[in-house]
């Protein structure tokens, strides 16, 4: 931000305090155009930069305005962004004060607090932006900021077919699985499209059902179902009180007469309550989690359940077998997000869950293939 205008920015901030965002630009413009005898160059550009500082994203504004950028990463003194699956360096001169200002902007937009006592921030801005900040010295190289952007327009199965994320045949299979109320678990690494696919699958849910979504921060875009309740968890305050966790929301949702429960992502002990929900008549539920393959997903769920209770492995696996019908695995391959496996849970034998793999992605041919029936 322009050094010469810091005082003007401060004065603008005082003038717009308490105003709605759509009133701020008018107020700033009126104030700037009052400087009739001051050489500011292009005043419209000055107004834009001041607006970027007040309501925008500061030094990241050009990246946040550009369509197609899905992730912005600040690593202390370096900035990177992801566009069409590829990572690029963003060459821009900025100061430590610019980063401090950016952190303040993100705290205001997410309505979260970050400080040395609470050096990690996770939050969301609207439905389409997720923010993570970790302060130095927890981030050893300097303050770390990660901003993930989701499409403003809901992606459909047609879009995913066009992008070769999956085929039309796979799309039809998934649509039938959702309409037949199969319990589905989507797994994959970070940034491979789990939330995007979850959004697509919710598009197959009949409009007359009652759906409850449970998320860490709002990411799902479900606008075609009227009878929907959206629940989001809440971090504890500075005194460590007031936390609303994913597992507490799952337990609460069971008393809300859901036809389906959609959990954005399970990361810990909430896995147990998700399995219990799926096993107590709430069929057609869908969730996601981190795992490298369909088979690996069960090991991950076992570990998460053990965070909550000391249950024998055999009992955990039986709960998983009873709860989950379909597992979908996603990966990023050469920067491209693809569905790599679909497996059906078919049997529980000698303490092991048996899978029947239905579809897989062949890296050599870059095509999805249908697999002959058989256990694994």
pLDDT confidence of residue 240 = 72
Q: Which residue has 């400080």 as its token pair?
A: 115
Helices 194-202 + 168-179 axis angle, to 10: 60
C-beta neighbour count of 78 within 10 angstroms:
12
pLDDT confidence of residue 37 = 45
Instruction: Calculate ∠ Cα 326-357-159, nearest 5°.
Output: 65
User: What pLDDT tens digit does each residue of the chain (376 aa) get?
Assistant: 444 555 565 556 555 555 555 566 566 566 666 665 455 556 666 666 666 666 678 889 899 989 889 999 999 989 999 998 889 999 998 888 889 989 988 988 888 889 998 899 988 887 789 899 999 999 999 999 999 998 777 889 999 999 999 999 999 999 999 999 999 999 999 889 999 999 999 999 999 999 999 998 788 888 889 999 999 988 777 677 888 999 999 999 999 999 999 999 999 999 999 999 999 888 999 999 999 999 999 999 999 999 888 889 899 999 999 999 999 999 999 888 999 999 999 999 998 999 999 999 999 999 999 996 654 4
Residues with Cβ within 8 Å of 228's Cβ and at least 6 positions away in sequence, in order, are 210, 211, 212, 213, 222
Residues with Cβ within 8 Å of 184's Cβ and at least 6 positions away in sequence, in order, are 177, 178, 201, 285, 286, 287, 324, 325, 326, 327, 328
pLDDT confidence of residue 2 = 46
Q: Looking at the DSSP assignment, which residues form a beta bridge with residue 6?
A: none
User: Which has the closest alpha carbon to 129: 113, 114, 145?
Assistant: 145
Q: Which two tokens stand for residue 298?
A: 């069960």
């Amino acid at each position: 931000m322009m050094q010469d205008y810091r005082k003007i920015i401060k004065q603008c901030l005082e003038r717009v305090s308490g105003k709605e965002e759509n009133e701020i630009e008018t107020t700033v413009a009126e104030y700037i155009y009052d400087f009739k005898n001051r050489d500011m160059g292009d005043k419209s550009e000055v107004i834009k930069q001041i607006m970027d500082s007040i309501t925008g994203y500061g030094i990241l504004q050009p990246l946040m305005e550009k369509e197609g950028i899905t992730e912005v990463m600040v690593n202390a003194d370096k900035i990177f962004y992801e566009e069409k699956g590829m990572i690029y360096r963003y060459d821009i001169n900025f100061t430590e004060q610019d980063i401090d200002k950016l952190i303040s902007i993100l705290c205001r937009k997410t309505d979260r607090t970050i400080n040395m006592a609470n050096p990690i921030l996770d939050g969301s801005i609207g439905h389409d932006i997720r923010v993570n900040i970790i302060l130095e010295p927890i981030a050893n190289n300097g303050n770390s900021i990660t901003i993930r952007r989701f499409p403003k327009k809901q992606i459909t199965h047609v879009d995913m077919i066009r992008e070769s994320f999956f085929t039309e045949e796979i799309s039809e299979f998934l649509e039938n699985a959702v309409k037949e109320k199969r319990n589905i678990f989507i797994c994959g690494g970070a940034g491979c499209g789990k939330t995007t696919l979850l959004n697509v699958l919710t598009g197959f849910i009949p409009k007359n059902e009652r759906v409850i979504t449970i998320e860490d921060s709002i990411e799902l875009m479900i606008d075609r179902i009227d009878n929907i309740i959206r629940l989001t968890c809440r971090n504890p305050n500075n005194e460590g009180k007031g936390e609303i966790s994913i597992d507490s929301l799952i337990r609460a949702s069971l008393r809300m007469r859901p036809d389906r429960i959609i959990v954005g992502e399970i990361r810990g002990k909430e896995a147990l309550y998700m399995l219990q929900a799926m096993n107590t008549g709430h069929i057609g539920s869908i969730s996601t989690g981190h795992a490298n393959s369909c088979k690996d997903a069960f090991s991950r769920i076992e570990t998460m359940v053990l965070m909550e209770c000391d249950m024998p492995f055999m009992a955990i696996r039986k709960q998983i077998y009873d709860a989950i019908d379909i597992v979908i695995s996603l990966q990023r391959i050469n920067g491209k997000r693809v569905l790599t496996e679909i497996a059906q849970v078919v049997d529980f034998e000698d303490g092991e869950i048996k899978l029947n793999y239905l579809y897989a992605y062949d890296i050599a041919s870059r095509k999805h293939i249908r697999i002959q029936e058989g256990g694994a």
